[in-house]
Amino acid sequence: MKRYRLYIDESGDHTFGNLEDIGRQYLCLLGIFIDQEIYRSSFHPSFEKLKQIHFPHNPDEPLILHRSDIINKRGAFGRLVDPDKEQVFNADLLNFFAREDYMIIGVVIDKKSHIRRYGSAAYHPYHYCLAALLERYCGFLNFYNSHGDVLAESRGGVEDTKLKEAYRLLHSAGTQFRGAQFFQKVLTSSEIKLKPKSSNIAGLQVADLLAYPVKQKILMENKVIRSLDDFNKEICAVVHSKYNRHAYDGRISGYGWIFIS
């Protein structure tokens, strides 16, 4: 029986403030899940090798790949101001995304539409996306007779406490679409694991790198935006085969891409 771990990061924030700004209107929760033997033997060491090739560093002082730092060429990523170095790094990163064995589920919620529909009864956007994400992840685990757990990026004291409570409730009571047994049968823990970026967890770093491009792809598929910029287009092309799909007809929509409006 295979054992998986789901790594979760987000693009956007969970608040309902300033929703006239399209950059804040949509929250994406991005999960990648990986067979833990593959993670140990290939995914993690390949990711560390990629980092050492392009940003040599002391292993005792881990380097964290964070999308905003890379884009803004901050700190160790200042090397990327050299166009040639940036081009080679981007190519190797795309090769890593294409080569490694993992699966993706992206959930995007339109917070503006959600608050208009439900008002004061609106769900917490992050927790609502989490429920949709776990329904698909546990659907995969149930279908393939596998087990797994969940690791998300820590977001701070109050938010972490609320997230743990939301996860426990889902595990003990289920959702409006799936009963508790659906989750309990395949999840190995009633607790969600939370770790900060500084923990140097490859799965969380890759989820961070993919969350924004996947959000933009889902928005484009739902005609919210017209196109992607060139590099995000390349990322989305190489990860297209990684999305969770319907087992029989290969559909991605509703399985690997979920849009909540």
Report how far residue 194's alpha carbon sits from residue 157's, in angstroms, rounded to the nearest whole number.
11
Residue 56 has pLDDT above 90, yes or no: yes
Instruction: Determine contact, residues 196/160, Cβ cutoff 8 Å.
Output: no
| Identity of the residue numbered 203 | G
Q: Kindly report, residue by residue over 102-114, the tens digit of the pLDDT.
A: 999 999 999 988 8
pLDDT digits (tens, 9 = 90+) for 228-253: 999 999 999 999 999 999 999 999 99
Question: What does the pLDDT read at residue 195?
Answer: 96
Beta bridge partners of 29: 10, 107
**C-beta separation of 137 from 188 below 8 A:** no
Distance CA 156, CA 52 (A): 29
Q: What share of the chain is helix, strand, coil (3-state, %, to 5)?
A: 55, 15, 30
pLDDT mean across residues, the chain: 95
Count of domains forming the chain: 1
3-state secondary structure of 122: coil
Count the Cβ atoms, other than its own, within 10 Å of residue 3: 14
Please say if the pLDDT value at position 115 is more than 90: no
Give the CATH number, domain containing residue 92: 3.30.420.10
**What tokens were used for 150?**
């969940």
Q: Which residues pair with 3 in a beta bridge?
A: 147
φ and ψ of 62, to 5 deg: -55, 145
CA nearest 27: which of 41, 43, 8?
A: 8
Q: Where in the sequence is the domain holding 121, given as residue range(s)?
A: 3-260
The DSSP annotation for 41-86 comes to IIIHHHHHHHHHHHS---TTSPPP--HHHHHTT-GGGGGGGSHHHH
* Chain-centroid distance, C-alpha 132: 13
CB contact at 8 A, 168 and 191: yes
pTM (2 d.p.): 0.96
CA atoms within 13 A on the CB side of 28: 25
Tokens of 129: 């996306």
- Closest to 183 (Cα-Cα) out of 202, 159, 167: 167
- CA-based nearest residue to 209, from 62, 90, 81: 90
Tens digit of pLDDT for each residue in 172-213? 999 999 999 999 999 999 999 999 988 999 999 999 999 999
